[in-house]
Amino acid sequence: MADRSNHFVGNVAQKAIIEKDGKILVCRGIGDTVWEFPGGRLHMGEAPVDGLVREIQEELGITLRDVKPFRVEPSFHYKSNMQQVFIAYTCTYDGAELVVDSNEIEELKWISREELKMLPMFDDCRAVVDIFCT
């Protein structure tokens, strides 16, 4: 019998790097002191892109377009104390007005790449910014 103690057990976190007019959308979750890209966790049986599109629709009321994988890496989710797979995508959206789910997001803003480099972020998002902004 194979040893399964090293098999991955965790979540898949997905984040959207949404660009509009040269700005990037970032958010701060309820009670968080650092920033991240909007997104969420993949549901059981859900295709990765479908999960990201669903999360963004739920949290921001918009439909993503041109969704492309940008970075995939292991990371650690501090709130749940679990390992996770972190997937960041670049994308655009349908241009609709943002309708923010205030149960999920405390603050939202559009910033430049230069501002993004200076913004305090969760480690997994920071790693993506370091590559995205080079």
Alpha carbon distance 11, 116 (integer Å): 26
Mean pLDDT, residues 74-101 taken together: 89
Alpha carbon distance 30, 46 (integer Å): 25
H or E segment at 117?
Answer: helix 113-118
Q: Is residue 13 packed enough to be buried (19+ CB in 10 Å), middle (13-18) or exposed (0-12)?
A: buried
pLDDT at 9 over 80: no
Q: Strand 23-29 relative to strand 105-111: parallel, antiparallel, unpaired?
A: antiparallel
Q: Which 8-state DSSP code applies to residue 98? A: P
pLDDT at 8: 67
For residue range 67-84, what is the model confidence (pLDDT) as tens digits?
A: 999 999 998 877 777 888
pLDDT at 75: 87
Residue 123 makes CB contacts below 8 A (sequence gap 6+) with 75, 76
Mean pLDDT, residues 53-79 taken together: 93
Q: Which residue has the higher pLDDT, 11 or 26?
A: 26
pLDDT at 7: 66
- Among residues of the chain, what percentage have pLDDT more than 70? 95
Q: Which residues pair with 111 in a beta bridge?
A: 24
What pTM did the predictor assign?
A: 0.90
Domains belonging to the chain, first-starting first, are 11-132 (3.90.79.10)
pLDDT at 52 over 70: yes
